[in-house]
A and B are shown apart, each in its own frame.
Chain A
């Protein structure tokens, strides 16, 4: 083992300590190598493969059947598939709803709970409860409320034949899904923001209050700006979750087109009997749409790490 025998400052030692023993090198190799290998082989390489496959015709069954298709799948999607645009519309509404309604509510909730208003312990649990439920269970629970023979239709006194079609009627179904998704999302954001709030220097907040600011002013001018890294995380998660939503809609609609969203379109076209690489193209579109927040986030990480 190479050890610096001279006695410079500890910082210098740490910096110069690039001479790792053989044993150390092996350890580091394993420490980094195994996780990275797993991550690359099961996430990145398949992702690249799917991107490549989106330019082919293929049923997904026999490798020898792969035929180059150029941009045909994409043209098909953009010019020939009305349900794609419906899905874009739904995902956009989802994004806007999450961004302007659900996430801000989660943030405000976190702030109030962090301030330890009366009952905050119970509230925290209540709002977080939906987050620990699986989306399948969530779908079943809400289906219960909104079925033709469920709670709401019962409240309205309607028999099955005249029941309000919460999931089938385009006027209602998207808002119903938004509420269901928010039910979970708000608690999730609340949790993340609470974690972030704990890291904010409490002295900073005390100072703001002593200065005579109201709570709202204190939040807006002091706490919120100080939470910049967490804000970015929350924004990125909001965007990503709204774009790649799948589970909740699948449990209610299966793979039918009742409420088209990108996640279900991918699944519908890439799995099952009707599999084609149109599904891969959908997946790539989904990926590209998500990449903006991902890159933004990475940039912010990068700049922070360079400080």
Chain B
């Protein structure tokens, strides 16, 4: 409810003006900090264009005699990029797909139907999302091996991208469930009710009625999840024994060892590894905030 209070015009204008000046200052302040914020990345980029020998000889501020992408070409040669990026895709894409699928399924059931276990389910999943990964690592490892032995192939889940996919799905489902259920609560109940009146099966209810409405949060979640899983370091490290199966981010640890005497080369490698997420970020900027609904305060 708004109460209209009559305020003398001069005072309002002055207040507005003062606020505008404040805003200017705030904007400049934030702007300067934004520059500081991106500086580390810029510096790394800069260093990746210089040969390390120059740095060793003259220090980091030595005037650049050679500038070029030679570090990048060398890194690409030595890093076997297609392999690592393929590994990353093999893990990230199925994982994101399954997370979105399962998250939406749970959110769907829990928000569209009133079962007694609804709240419990929600709690289960969101709490599970918050557990520290280190808590589950040894039993999961043993489980994967035991399952593998059961089916005669030790690599059924261990040292297998599916094993990493499944653990990501198990952990991140909670966040997806939470966001999607928050969003679904804002979808009017009438839509579901009329579908049910029309005799829609649960299956149809989900796929034909709800799913098309979920585009914004799914896009947003998808983008976030791709970023998170792409950037995961821990699971691929411990659930895979073969370095050539690991995704690119775990492989960076290897690069640290390999390029130990040429740090600028490592910088180029890091930039290359960061490239896909940077591209996703710049292209799909809007999606990141766009469809995220965290709790609704409407109505």
Chain A residues within CB distance 8 Å of chain B: 1, 3, 10-11, 13-15, 17, 20-21, 23-24, 27-28, 31-32, 34-36, 38-39, 41-47, 49-50, 53, 60, 109, 112, 115, 117-119, 122-137, 140-142, 144-145, 147, 149-151, 154-155, 183, 191-192, 194-196, 198-201, 203, 206-207, 210-212, 214-215, 226-230, 233, 236, 240, 243-244, 246-247, 250-251, 263, 266-267, 270-271, 279-280, 282-284, 286-287, 290, 293-294, 297-298, 301-302, 304-306
Contacts and interface: CB of A to CB of B under 8 A. Distances in A.
Contacts of A130: 37, 41
Given A129-B38, A286-B132, 10 more contacts: A35-B106, A35-B173, A127-B37, A133-B231, A134-B249, A195-B289, A210-B4, A211-B3, A271-B137, A279-B134
B15 A301 contact: no
B2 A210 contact: yes
Interface stretch (B64-72, B76-84, B164-172): B164-172
Contacts of A151: 43, 60
Contact of B132 (A17, A191, A203, A283): A283
B150 interface: no
A115 B37 CA distance: 21
A38 B190 contact: no
B294 A137 contact: no
B295 A233 contact: yes
Interface string B160-182: 00000011011101100000000
A10 B263 CA distance: 68
A145 B253 contact: no
A78 B148 CA distance: 38
Contacts of A1: 199
B270 interface: yes
A280 B253 contact: no
Given A117-B30, A126-B38, A247-B233, A23 B201 contact: yes
B281 A128 contact: yes
A60 B123 CA distance: 31
A148 B257 CA distance: 17
- Interface size class of chain B, counting residues whose CB lies under 8 Å from the partner chain: 35 or more
A191 B288 contact: yes
B102 A38 contact: yes
A145 B30 CA distance: 22
A27 B167 contact: no
A232 B231 CA distance: 26
A31 B108 contact: yes
A24 B201 contact: yes
A257 B151 CA distance: 40
B215 interface: no
A284 B281 CA distance: 36
Contacts of A27: 201-203
A28 B117 CA distance: 13
B21 interface: no
B17 interface: no
B294 A199 contact: yes
Interface string B38-52: 101101100100000
A19 B270 CA distance: 57
A10 B190 contact: yes
Contacts of A149: 55-56, 59-60, 263
In the A-B complex, the 5 residue pairs with the closest CB atoms? A229-B295, A134-B231, A154-B60, A195-B292, A46-B139
Contacts of A279: 134, 138
9 contacts: A43-B136, A53-B138, A129-B41, A132-B278, A195-B292, A233-B295, A280-B138, A283-B132, A298-B127
Nearest to B114: A15
A250 B194 CA distance: 54
A123 B2 CA distance: 33
Given A32-B105, A129-B38, A134 B134 contact: no
Contacts of B274: 132-134, 137
Contacts of A14: 189, 192-193, 196
Contact of B139 (A13, A49, A247, A263): A49
B142 to A, nearest CB: 8
B170 A39 contact: yes
Contacts of A304: 295
Contacts of B241: none
B10 interface: no
Nearest to B179: A195
A133 to B, nearest CB: 5
Contacts of B193: 10-11, 13-14
B119 interface: yes
A270 B138 contact: yes
B128 A44 contact: yes
B273 A129 contact: no
A301 B185 CA distance: 13
Given A43-B170, A137-B274, A201-B297, A270 B125 contact: no
Contacts of B12: 212
Nearest to B223: A132
B285 interface: yes
Contacts of A131: 227
A31 B130 contact: no
Contacts of B24: 118
Interface in B249-299: 249-250, 252-253, 256, 263, 266-267, 270, 273-274, 277-278, 280-282, 285, 288-289, 292-298
